[in-house]
Structures are given as structure tokens and as C-alpha cells.
Amino acid sequence: MKIKKNIAVSETGFVFDPTTGDSYSLNPIGAEIMTLMKEGKELPDIQKFVLDKYDVDKATFEKSYLDFMNMIRQFHLTEE
Amino acid sequence: MATKKLPFERPLIKKLNVGIPNKFGLKTEYDPITHIDGVAIKDLINQFGSPFYVISEKTIRETYREAKRAFTTRYPKVQFAWSYKTNYLNAVCNVFHQEGSWAEVVSGFEYDKAIANRVQGQHIIFNGPDKTEADIRKAIVNGSLIHIDHFDELYTIIELSEQMEQKPKVSIRVNMDTGIYPIWSRFGFNYENGEAWEALNRIMLSKKLELMGLHAHIGTYIMVPWAYGHAAAKLADLAVGIQKKFNHHIKYIDTGGGFASKNTLKGAFIPGSDTCPTFDAYAEAITSAIINSGIHPEHMPILILETGRALIDDSGSLIGSVIAIKRLAEGKRAMVVDIGVNLLFTSFWYEHKITPAQPFTHYTEDTVIYGPLCMNIDVIRDNISFPLLNKGDHFVISRIGAYNMTQWMQFITLRPNIVMIDMDGKPHIIRKGETNDSVTSQEVVPDYLKKITV
Amino acid sequence: MKKKKITVAVSGLNNTDNPGPGIPVIRGIRESKEFDVRIIGLAYENLEPGIYLHDIVDKTYQIPYPSAGTDPLIQRIEYIHSVEKIDVIIPNFDAELYSFMRSSDVLKEMKIHTFLPTMEQFEERHKSNLPAFGKKYGITVPFSRPIFGENEIFGLTADFTYPLLVKGKYYDAYVAYNPEQVRMYFNKIASKWGLPIIIQEFIHGTEVNVIALGDGKGNTIGAVPMRKQYITDKGKAWGGITLDDENMLELTRKIIGQTKWRGGMEFELIKTISNDLFLIEINPRIPAWVYLAVGAGQNLPEALIKLALGMEVKPYESYQVGKLFIRFSMDMIVELEEFEKLSTFGEL
């Protein structure tokens, strides 16, 4: 899944969608994941990054990642 | 050993709704509740499982003493009577009795409980509309204070007084307009329409009953102390009238219960912790109304208080765990927990304070918190801005000491352990978690239904 | 004379078509000849225009909603105070007054001054208590009573004739012509501001207003009567004119004298054809049209700050009659970075 090209993710976790005019806020880990996605990274890379950095098991990460992806999709921030 | 990793939080994206302030960036964090009276919640969960109720003996005693101080510094003769219906676990009742509280009961079941707790008969106040003849007989023999609710009861007592040796000790419950809504006119005799006087005349003229006092209980969760002032003034007015007409001095005025607690009622704009009047405010309204009344200073009646909720709510907590985190079809976050309306009856009218029991960040999501029951109305909070918990995380629901351990439901599951933490920080089970047997032992299956072939 | 440097925190920066009093209060303060003021804005929502008006507000912080309770509010103020050293806070929303009044002692310990009504003054002038208030102070008020449930609506005709007014505890008032409309407004207001809902007799006449400031000892420090000349569809004044009306001033002095009102306030009155005045509401804070009073010669925001700081304040004796205010709206251009900064850090 790819984040739309014109969407910028700031270091502070602020996201602006110039197509719709909507703004979003991310928590720090959300901002990290979205930045990795902007760099074109896919699930395996992202998973490795998160599991290396944070104290979390694979299942918990996977559940929360899927939920996060659903929200991003629901907000139409991805390229179809 | 692995290198030290950072604590994980679910990734979160939240739309910034223009106009509605978001909680991001607002550094107004609150802290997790990790301990209760110095005991780690983790240890308690290991020992007692999840969910369970915790009662702080320290908080009960401190709250009681605070309330007592508020009244005794303003009025010479004050007596508290513990409202059994609010929480009738024997350990809880006995903490109050140790502090000097009498018992206030509203059914034969509660009456027997008080007797079993070894409260002296003359220190039991018997309220409520449903006292059986057997109950009344017992109360008369024990010299308990019977607060008459209606004429049918009054006539039963008069009848009994003619058969029995002991003189029944009675009071009447009076309902009245104290300037608040709703008026609880279903209990007792009305002040404004003269019904209370009719009852008093009947009692005094029978000569077989001893009129001890006057009782009112104006409502529940009353946020305006002045309403109690009005009630006390009207009771005092009746007392003066009784003295004039019958030359009889009543022994006490009982202003009942109904003080608010710091819980926030649903639909309230400002939280209960900010709006709940202090004991001092209630005490000031009640005591000054009696002191300023026409009652002669030499015959000042004892002031009895049946405060329940305000004395016990803060001491109780429910500890629970997250069963599941869900995303509802409409995009809303839902959290399923192991505490439902079966254990938290008060969630029907309060927005209970729920706090994680482990560290969390200031990132939150608008969340609906569901209980574990297969029942659509099992909702603990329908919209709370809540930190990002995971399955298995623990939380504390505060201020649940009143009514939840008496109005609970057994529905499809069992009631859990109730633990009291004593003054030295030692936990004691004061009610064991139920087993299947606790529920089924009362069942009887007819022989012809015992054979099944499924 | 060298101006005294002070820092004043002000809320109500929502200068919209239903404006909060923050911006006009600040404009009054900024015109003070005695104070050199740094203004700290306190905002609830991220599009309150005042946040982005940098020549009016020096720095803005978001604060938690009053519904979060006093503790989070005080924590937030403590943080802001640690950075800004606030001398005076002027809260401008009805809904937040309760929290600030409750916290005034805590704020005082932090050396932050306020000049707010007492809890008793605040409570007794509540819309739901207006009949008792009128009786106590000998002031004519329209008949009203609170209702707590929809089931009381059909019984209203015992006490009222239609049309009648349906009002919320803090804000909102609607004219209803039948029970169906009462029900609609009841639900609309109750969902926003809670119960009770106040039902009030509809008095025919002209609405007139007085802005006033009481010193807490019974003295009226300033008072300016005004008539709204143009009212928006939200019922807000879009233009108004100062009046010469001794009756209105007399009534103001009578109420402030008896209640010993402390702080800013606004009276909403109905003047009937026979020139009788009905008090319909007391707002326990400075109204949004305060700048008209400043323009007419009474800088009430400045006087309020002096009272808060414990300074001697001489009452204003006069004001210019026939001064008008006309509101206008203007679009300002805001960079996304500013919105981002406020949304992410809660300050700008």
C-alpha cells in the first residue's frame, strides 16, 4: 500500500492532505510508520523496524498495523 | 538478554476536526493508578484474578470521620446510621459500626443482617415500604426504631401494639416539597397536605406507640444542600407542633441520605468532582435549620444521618482487564473489557472515571467501552477519550463503592472476589468469588427431568 | 507616566458571528494608558480567530474544556504560568466561569489574580433561579420555571401562553410557538448544555442591555446602557447604540448595590411600551460588545484589571450617549504551519 504522493508527513506527526484539505495527527509510532511508507517500505521492513525498536510481539504489532492501515485507507490517504 | 526496547503504543491516526480541540499537544496528562493504599494492582491481580472489587478500609474511615467532623462541630448530638442497601457486605458494615454508626435497613433481609452483625436492636432503624408483620413484630421485640411509611403499616403496628407487651418505638417518614425536582411523594406521609399530621395524631392518640422521631429522605444524589435545610426546617416545625399539641418532645430528627458523591452524572456538563458539595455545606444547611427553628434549646433532638453513597463511593474500585480492541464498522474505536453492567450497575447513570493501571501516553482515541455480556446495553462508557490500551492491559474504575455490590446481577457469569485492604495495607477477601455451585445449589430438578440423552 | 508592565491571560478568542468577548476585552486593555500589556490567549478550539491575530494576542495556549474539570485546567494554567508569569486571568465564557471561580484561591496562591463573582452571586443569578432573584431584590422578571423532562412540556399551558422562550442553562434561547417546537428545542439544548431547560414567559417589547462592573463592595464602577440595532440570525448584536436611560442605570446600581456584585456583568432587559423594565438575564461576565463602552468613555476591561490587582479604582461618572458600534468581519490569511503548530503543540 502506498501513501499518496502529495501527502506530507511532518516530524511532529502532522499530516495534511492537499486534495481534500483535511489535516490529521499521528502519535510518534504512527508518524514513523507513515514516514517509512512514504519511503516506499512494505510490511516486512516496517515490521522489522518496529519489532527491533519496540517491546512488542509480532501478533500485537500485526493487529495494530492492520487497524492502522484500515484507518489510513478509510481516510483516503493511499493510492488505489 | 535482548537490548532494552521502547514501550510499544499502537500506531494512531486521528483526523483534526476543525473547531473541536484535539487532545494532542495538550500536556494535561493524568497518571495511571498502579497502587491502591500502597498495594500494587499487579500483585492484587496475580492473587485475586480479574476482575475484582477492592475496598479501601482507610478511605471508608477517613471519609466517615470527615463527615462526622462536619456535623459534630456544628451540632451537639449527631448519630450516623449505616445505610445497608448502599453496601451490605458484613465487613463494610462492621467498619461503620466500629466507627459508631447504627444500622439503617429497609427489608427483613437487611434487618436480620444487622442483627447478625450484632448491632443492638435499639440501634437499628427500620425504613422502607415493605415490612412484613413478622418483621415488625421482631422489630418491636428488639426495641428497634420503626419508620412508618404508610397508613396500612401504621394500623398494623397499632394492632400489634394491642397484642404485645413492648411498646413499639416509631417515627414517621415525611415527604415534602423542598424546592427540588422530583418530589419523592411515594414514600411516607406528605407534609404540605396535612397527611403527616394525620399520622402523628393517630400515633399520639393511640397511646400504645412511642413517637421517637421524624424522618425525611428527600431524594438521591442531591447537589443542593439548601434542599436539606428546607427539609430539616419542616421536620423541626412538626416537632414544635407536636410539643405544643401533645407536650411531647421527640428524640430525634432523621434527615435521611441522598448526599451526592463525586461521580459525574450522565449529561452533566461539569464533572462531579467539581460540583459535589462538601460535607460541611450539607452540615451547615441542616444544622442551622434545626438550630434556628422554634425547638427549645433544652430539647434539641439528636440529628440522625443515613448517608450512604457519599460515605462509601470513593472507597470502592473495580479492577479489570482488556479483552479485545475493536474497530467498529463506522470507524469508531471499541474496547471490550471483563467488567460489564452486571458488576457496574451504576454505569447506567454515571460516567465513571476509568484509569489505566499501567503507564500510558497522552495520545487518546474516542472510545466506546463495552462489557463482556452478550447484551447490547452492556456499555460501560459510550464515549470516552481514552489512552491506547492493548489486550490484557489493566484499568481501574474508581468511585464504585455505593450500590454496585448490592444491585449487581449474576447474569451469565459469576460475581468475582471482593477484597478489602486493611489499615496496614493488607488485602483480605471479604466475599469470595462465586462458583457455579453458588448459583446452582439453590436449583431443584424434578426427577423426571434428570434423564437426558443429548 | 511610565506604563506598568503586566501579563494578562484572556479567553474567548472566538471572534466569530457568535463572538466571545476576548478580542474586544483585549482591545480595551491595549488602549490602557497605565498598563503595558502582554496578552496570553487561552483557546479551546483550533480555529478561534484570536489565535492567529498576532497584533492582538501575543501568544496563545490551548486549554482543556471546562467539562474536563478543574484539575486538568489548573495543571495547564500552572504550565502556562511557569512560562509566562501571568498577572491576571480574565475568563470570558459562562461555561468556564465555574471552574475559574472554584480555582480562584489556587490561582491566587500562584500569584495569578482574577476578579470574578462569588459562587453565591454566580449561582443565584442563574436563569433557573431568576424568579427567586427577582423576589429577593425587588426586581421585575418574567415568569419562568425550569423543566427537567419532555413529559413536562404538555403541562406548560397551565402556567404559560404561547409563544414562550426555551432557554439553556448556559447558552441558547429560542422562541417556541407550540409544544412540538418546545420539544425540539428542549432536546437540542439539553444535548448540548444539560438540564434543566428554562421555560420563560415571552415579554413584548424592545431588548436593551447594560454592561456594568461591580467592585464587590456594592459600588458600580461603570455602566453603559445600549440598544441592539441589528441582530443576526443567531440573536447577536451586529450593531448597537449607547442610550441615555436613567431607569436602566438605576436598576443596575440597585442590583450591584444589593448583591455586591464582583466583576463584569451584562443585564439583558426588555423595555415594554409603557417603559417598564423586565430583567430577563444576568450574564456574569463582560459581554462581547464591551468595546462600545470603551469607545463611549468607560474602559471597563482596564478597570477590571485594576480591581483584580487590588488597585484603587474611581467609578466612571459618565459616558457618551449616541455612540454606535458596528461589527464587521474580515478574512485573514493564515499559513498552514501556524495551524499545524497549534494543533500539534497546543500553543502558538
Return the domain boundaries, chain A. Answer: 2-79
Count how many pairs of residues, chain A against chain C, have C-beta atoms within 8 Å. Answer: 16
Number of domains forming the structure of chain C: 2
Higher model confidence: residue A77 or residue C344? A77
Instruction: Report if residue C305 sits inside a domain.
Output: no
Q: Is residue C320 part of a domain?
A: no
Residues of B in contact with C187 (CB under 8 A): none
Beta carbons within 8 Å of B283's beta carbon, 6+ residues apart: B70, B71, B73, B74, B75
A26-71 pLDDT, tens digit per residue, is 999 999 999 999 998 999 999 999 999 999 999 999 999 999 999 9
| Alpha-carbon gap: A8 to the closest alpha carbon of chain B (Å) | 14
Contact yes or no for C119/C49 (Cβ under 8 A) = no
CATH fit for domain B127-306, picks 1.50.10.10, 3.40.50.720, 3.20.20.10, 3.40.47.10: 3.20.20.10
Model ipTM value = 0.93
Residue C207 in 3-state DSSP?
strand
Q: Is the omega angle on the peptide bond into residue C225 within 30 degrees of 0, that is, cis?
A: no
The cell for B233 is 426546617
d(CA C129, CA C145): 8
Mutate to test the interface with B, among C16, C42, C46, C106 (most CBs of B within 10 A): C46
Q: Tell me the chain C residues in contact with residue A6 when contact means C-beta distances shorter than 8 Å.
A: none
* C-alpha distance from residue B279 to each of B65, B82, C69 (Å): 11, 16, 20
Would you call A24 and B361 a contact, using CB atoms and an 8 Å cutoff? Answer: no
Is C309 among the domain residues? no
Are A12 and C339 inside 8 Å of each other by CB?
no
Domain boundary assignment for chain B:
35-54+314-435, 127-306
Q: Is A10 on the interface with C (CB under 8 A)?
A: yes
Phi, then psi, of C33 in degrees rounded to 5:
-90, -10
CATH number of the domain to which C147 belongs: 3.30.1490.20
**B107, B125 in Cβ contact below 8 A?**
no
Query: Are C98 and B27 an interchain contact pair (Cβ–Cβ within 8 Å)?
Result: no
pLDDT at position B2:
54
Alpha carbons within 13 angstroms on the beta-carbon side of residue C205 total: 21
Cell 457486605 sits on residue = B89
SS3 content of chain A, % helix, strand, coil (to 5): 50, 20, 30
Cell digits of residue B224: 443542593
**Cell numbers standing for residue B16:** 483534526
User: Contacts by A50-55 with C-beta closer than 8 Å and gap 24+?
Assistant: A50/B8, A52/B5, A53/B5, A53/B6, A54/A29, A54/B5, A54/B6, A54/B7, A54/B8, A55/B5, A55/B6, A55/B7, A55/B8
Query: Does residue C25 lie within any of the structural domains?
Result: yes
A14–chain C Cβ distance below 8 A for any pair: yes
What is the Cα–Cα distance from C79 to C84, expressed in whole angstroms? Answer: 9
For chains A and B, CB pairs below 8 A equal 74
Q: Which residues of A touch C343 (CB under 8 A)?
A: 14, 23, 25
Residue of B nearest to C78 (CA): B28
pLDDT of residue B185: 85
List residues of B whose CB lies inside 8 A of any A CB. Answer: 5-16, 22, 24, 325, 327, 331, 361, 363, 388, 390-391
Contacts of C345 in chain A (CB under 8 A): 12
The whole domain housing C106 covers: 4-114+331-345
> C346 CB near a chain A CB, below 8 Å?
no
In terms of domains, do C35 and C96 share one?
yes
**Residue C44 belongs to some domain of the structure:** yes
Q: Where are the beta strands (DSSP E) in chain C?
A: 4-11, 35-43, 59-62, 88-90, 144-147, 164-167, 173-176, 197-201, 206-215, 220-231, 237-242, 262-271, 277-283, 324-326
Q: Is C336 on the interface with A (CB under 8 A)?
A: yes
CB C250 within 8 A of CB C257: no
Cell triple for B442: 439453590
Would you say B397 and B352 are in contact if contact means Cβ atoms under 8 Å apart?
yes
Q: For residues C61 and C48, what is the distance between their CA atoms, to the nearest angstrom? A: 11
Within a domain: C154: yes
Whole-angstrom distance, CA of residue C112 vs CA of residue C107: 5
Q: Looking at the complex, does the CB of residue B27 fall below 8 Å from at least one CB of chain C?
A: yes
Residue B324 parent element (H or E): strand B316-327
Give dist(CA B274, CA C70) in Å, integer. 7
Torsion sign over Cα C55, C57, C61, C64: negative
Instruction: Please tell me whether residues C38 and C96 are part of one structural domain.
Output: yes
Q: What is the pLDDT of residues B413-446, one digit of tens each?
A: 999 999 999 999 999 999 999 999 999 999 999 9
Determine whether the interchain pair B26/C62 forms a contact, defined as Cβ–Cβ distance below 8 Å. Answer: yes
Q: How many residues does chain A have?
A: 80
Segment 19-78 of chain A within 8 Å of chain B by CB: 22-30, 33-34, 50, 52-56, 60-61, 63-65, 67-68, 70-72, 74-75
B448 by Cβ neighbours in 10 Å (0-12 / 13-18 / 19+) ranks as exposed
What is the C-alpha to C-alpha distance for residues B371 and A75, in angstroms, rounded to an integer? Answer: 29
Q: Tell me what pLDDT residue B263 has.
A: 92
Read off the DSSP letter of residue B51: S
Determine the Cα–Cα distance for residues B242 and B254; give it in Å rounded to an integer: 16
A13 CB neighbours in chain C (<8 A) are 344
Residues of chain B with pLDDT under 50: 1, 21-28
Mark which residues 74-113 of C lie under 8 Å from B by CB. 75-76, 79, 95, 98-99, 102
Residues C95 and C170 in one domain: no
Complete DSSP assignment for B192-249: TTSHHHHHHHHHHHHSSSEEEEEE----SSB--HHHHHHHHHHHHHHHHHHHHHH---
User: Who contacts A72 (Cβ-Cβ below 8 Å, separation ≥6)?
Assistant: A1, A3, A34, A78, B13
* pLDDT band at residue A15 using 50, 70 and 90 as cut-offs: very high
- B312 C-beta neighbours (distance < 10 Å), count: 28
User: Which amino acid is present at B363?
Assistant: Y
Please report residues of B whose CB lies closer than 8 A to that of A56. 5, 8
Tell me whether residue C322 is in a domain. no
In whole angstroms, how large is the CA radius of gyration of chain C?
Answer: 20
Identity of residue B270: I
- Chunked into runs of 10 residues, chain C (348 residues) has average pLDDT values of 91 89 96 95 91 95 86 91 96 89 93 94 85 89 87 87 87 88 90 83 92 96 94 85 94 94 95 91 94 97 96 94 93 92 86
C-alpha cell read off for A42: 512494505
Q: Is 0.80 surpassed by the pTM of this model? A: yes
Q: Taking a C-beta distance cutoff of 8 angstroms, is the pair C204, C272 a contact?
A: yes
Instruction: Place domain B35-54+314-435 in its CATH homologous superfamily.
Output: Lyase, Ornithine Decarboxylase; Chain A, domain 1 (2.40.37.10)
- Chains with at least 3 CB pairs less than 8 angstroms from chain A: B, C
- Number of helical H runs and strand E runs in chain B: 13, 24
Contacts of residue B143, Cβ cutoff 8 Å, sequence gap at least 6: B121, B122, B166, B169
